[in-house]
Structure 1
Amino acid sequence: MGRGGQAKARDDGAVRKCIATGELLPKEKLVRFVVGPDAQIVPDIRGKLPGRGIWVSAERDALDKAVAKKLFARAAKQAVELPQDLVSQVEGLLVRRLIDLIAMARKSGQAVSGFEKVKGWLAGEDVKVLLQSSDGSERGKSKLWTPEGARFVGLLTSDELGQAFGRETVVHAAIGAGGLAPRVVEEAARLKALRVSEGGTDRRKEKKRAR
């Protein structure tokens, strides 16, 4: 046990401290940033870039706080430059990462799209993730179900989901058993923290109503 009765992480690399909240969180719930050669803060979505990592919870409030309170400079112990659209940039990169993972699942035969194909998989395959576009017909989406033990992802628009399958738009898709399903779920969780408010409302819809 660690100080305060908290259990220590088995692997020191599995958790990192968020500079905005001070919480120790699993890395898959955080976004890593590094300081680039020009002293600009760069999002490192895949956690592969060289340099000392600066970690922030994937939640929008934490990212907004890190920007507003100039916490990146404090963590980097130097003056840094922040892109004006840093939070939007992070969201875009997370979307791209999720699309790429779904595309990899499709290419490896682990994913299908289209209402009838998905319905067939749900009836006979070991489906791990049901994906439906955020802007698809609620009536149509309600005709499919998330199998017990599987996860539902409804964060991507039909255009974004379509990119994963090489189509103009996709409303329904499914990912079967395989190594990519857990990674899709992890990346979807990070994106959800940015796109969905605590009350469960899509932040993009909130912005439209506010205009």
Structure 2
Amino acid sequence: MDETSVTTNKRDDDSAPHPRRGKGRAGVVARLCIVNRIELPVEQMFRFVVGPDGMLVPDLAHRLPGRGVWVDGRRDDVLTAVKKGLFKRSLKRPVTVDPEICATIERLLVADVRQALSLANKAGLVASGFGKVDAELAGGRVAVLLQAQEARPDGAQKLARKFIAIARDRGKPSPIVDELSSADLSLAIGGENVIHAAMAAGGQSRSFMRRVLRLKRFRMMSIDEAAGEAAKASGTSPEGEAVANTEHIGTDRE
């Protein structure tokens, strides 16, 4: 690979990814997936390290010490890495993988979304309850509409239609989040049986949506769908976000 494309770091305990230069958005930090051999922004990827007991540990915050390996943040790619023994091969050591690793990752991602929602709520950006959400929509103060997985179709569709129409008239996006259960919404917001919620614009809402998109990406089956979601979130084309590469193996130490 052209040495100007990726800045490398040779330390074994390098837990920080490299900034990619000359491809895609300026300053994008990217790593190579060991499964699909595609270089992607790290916010779309999972890092894994090996614990002292030899167990593979998902490092979703990209902070754990030790040599790491990177995988595209989709369930299919994690399962493929396990099935083909790519973790052991890339890390060059025996690795024990929990058969429930995907369930663990999903729980961690949901918890991350829940925490971001809680922070937005503490910042005063969240209203909950059908009536309050409807009022916030009418006032044009909603940047994100949240619907619990258990929401009844009639109520959910009524709010969604109103949100989409208002956002369209104002030339703004209309993200609707239905990735969380009522229990998750209730825990994050501090209410009971929360089904509908609305979030106003702000720094916390942007942080929340980044985490939601990460969870959605993990649950996606199609890499094209995932690339499309990432492009919508970043305002760039999918082609600018992924670079084919066959020279690296996707570990911290290249």
TM-score range, shorter chain: 0.7 to 0.9
Give 1:82-121 correspondences, 5 Å limit: 82-121=97-136
Q: Are 1:68 and 2:68 counterparts?
A: no
Pair 127,53 (structure 1): closer, same or farther in 2 beyond 3 Å: farther
Offset at 1:105?
0.6
Choose 1 or 2 for highest CA Rg.
Answer: 2
Match of 2:156 in 1: 141
> Using CA pairs below 8 Å that are at least 6 residues apart, which structure has the higher relative contact order?
2
1:160 maps to amino acid: D
Please give the TM-score of this superposition, normalised by the length of structure 1.
0.84
- Greater alpha carbon shift after TM alignment, 25-34 vs 123-132: 123-132
CA RMSD in angstroms comes to 2.3
**Preserved contact between residue 32 and residue 45 of structure 1 (Cα < 8 Å):** yes
1:57 maps to amino acid: D
3-state SS of the aligned residue for 1:127?
coil
Pair 102,16 (structure 1): closer, same or farther in 2 beyond 3 Å: same
Q: Are 1:187 and 2:211 counterparts?
A: yes
Offset at 1:195?
3.0
CA distance in 1, matches of 2:218, 2:154: 26
Q: Are 1:11 and 2:35 counterparts?
A: no
Unmatched 5+ stretches in structure 2: 6-20, 226-254
Pair 168,70 (structure 1): closer, same or farther in 2 beyond 3 Å: farther
**Preserved contact between residue 50 and residue 57 of structure 2 (Cα < 8 Å):** yes
CA distance in 1, matches of 2:138, 2:68: 44
3-state SS of the aligned residue for 2:37?
coil
**Preserved contact between residue 163 and residue 169 of structure 1 (Cα < 8 Å):** no
- Greater alpha carbon shift after TM alignment, 78-87 vs 35-44: 35-44
Match of 2:139 among 115, 124, 132: 124
Offset at 1:101?
0.5
**Preserved contact between residue 149 and residue 179 of structure 2 (Cα < 8 Å):** yes
CA distance in 1, matches of 2:68, 2:137: 41
**Preserved contact between residue 125 and residue 176 of structure 1 (Cα < 8 Å):** no
CA distance in 1, matches of 2:134, 2:66: 46
Offset at 1:95?
0.4
**Preserved contact between residue 160 and residue 169 of structure 1 (Cα < 8 Å):** no
Offset at 1:7?
4.7
CA distance in 2, matches of 1:196, 1:138: 22
3-state SS of the aligned residue for 1:122?
helix
- Greater alpha carbon shift after TM alignment, 97-106 vs 121-130: 121-130
Q: Are 1:175 and 2:190 counterparts?
A: no
CA distance in 2, matches of 1:123, 1:53: 48
1:74-109 CA distances to partner (integer Å, 9 max, x unpaired)? 221211111120011000100000001101110111
1:107-158 CA distances to partner (integer Å, 9 max, x unpaired)? 1111121111112222224322111112210100011124332422111111
Offset at 1:166?
1.9
3-state SS of the aligned residue for 2:31?
strand
Pair 126,24 (structure 1): closer, same or farther in 2 beyond 3 Å: farther
Percent identity of the aligned residues? 38
CA distance in 2, matches of 1:138, 1:88: 27
Match of 1:163 in 2: 187
1:101 maps to amino acid: A
Q: Are 1:24 and 2:48 counterparts?
A: no
